[in-house]
Amino acid sequence: RVRDHREGLLAARLVHEFESQGTGWFWQTDREGLLTYISPKVAEALAEPDLPPIGRPLNNVFKMDNVSPGTERTLGFHLSSRTGFSDYPVRPATFSTVDSWWSMSGRPVIDSHGKFQGFIGSGSDLTEKRRAEAEITRLALFDGLTGLANRQRMRVSLDQTLNQSSHHQRSTAMFLLDLDRVKVVNDTLGHQTGDALLAQVAQRLLRSIGDAGLVGRLGGDEFQVVLPDEDNVETLSDLARSVIATLSQPYSIDGASITIGCSIGVAVAPRDGPDAETLVRNADLALYAAKADGRGVHRFYREELLHGAQNRR
């Protein structure tokens, strides 16, 4: 009996050490699925004002990340069917002072008489892992300087938009933008000023486009806009002129007033190309025409531009 007592104290001490020092934690419910125990650090993160998690249904305390693979079945399903589950990503169902994520596992407890007693389980902290994954995704899909979508994200988005548009027989417009005189800014005022200028351009471009489309930076001083469900020439012309006028207003950076220009090439799918590669090429040809016509203007793609490019080649 003394030995059992010592072993019990040791187990309790080890559990306490594990709960307080590591990322792991434990939980337990009764037969009704109500929480009877949860490690203090998780209980603290879950506690709503005047409403601790103990005594509440497990699936009212945690909600699952339904986009994760292998988690089609809900916590409620496992509780009612009395089946075990493992490594389910969960987060607080309602109130939380922090953005927390956990991996959670559990199994039903059956006593010596074969009676179901509830669930017992464990969990581990996923918060830092999720934050790291989100940062990796952000770096992979967004331009570090401007915060706009980068070339990769724009291509994926364009492919998806064109695919959806073809199914629903809708049009998709694209703007390719090239800034004029940015190289002069870099050469005379330095790349730091040039970067600050590009960041301001991005904000103005976002405001100009608003909810009409997705704005991205392809690199250098080249930007792209994808405009779903739009093929009206007048609407696109008005928007292009508005963007050019907005981006051509003077910028104030470190006390210096800087003025640049902008040229835009416009192509519309499926008329100017059913796939991303063709549409981008034709928008680029339209941009080339805009620059050839004196810059600070927009031009639509037309077939003669392709013939002209082939002749030049």
> What is the DSSP annotation of 211-246?
GGSEEEEEETTEEEEEEET---HHHHHHHHHHHHHH
Give every strand in the sheet of 35-38, ordered side by side.
35-38, 24-29, 116-125, 102-110, 85-92, 62-64
Q: How far apart are CA 248 and CA 234, in angstroms?
A: 21
Q: How far apart are CA 56 and CA 79, in angstroms?
A: 13
Q: How far apart are CA 60 and CA 27, in angstroms?
A: 14
Counting Cα atoms < 13 Å in the Cβ hemisphere of 103 gives 12
**Angle made by CA atoms 94, 97, 99, in degrees to the nearest 5:** 80
Where in the sequence numbering do the catalytic residues fall? Answer: 221
Q: How far apart are CA 199 and CA 193, in angstroms?
A: 10
| Closest of 188, 207, 92, 198 to residue 144, by C-alpha | 198
Q: How far apart are CA 256 and CA 270, in angstroms?
A: 44
Which one-letter DSSP state was computed for residue 248? T
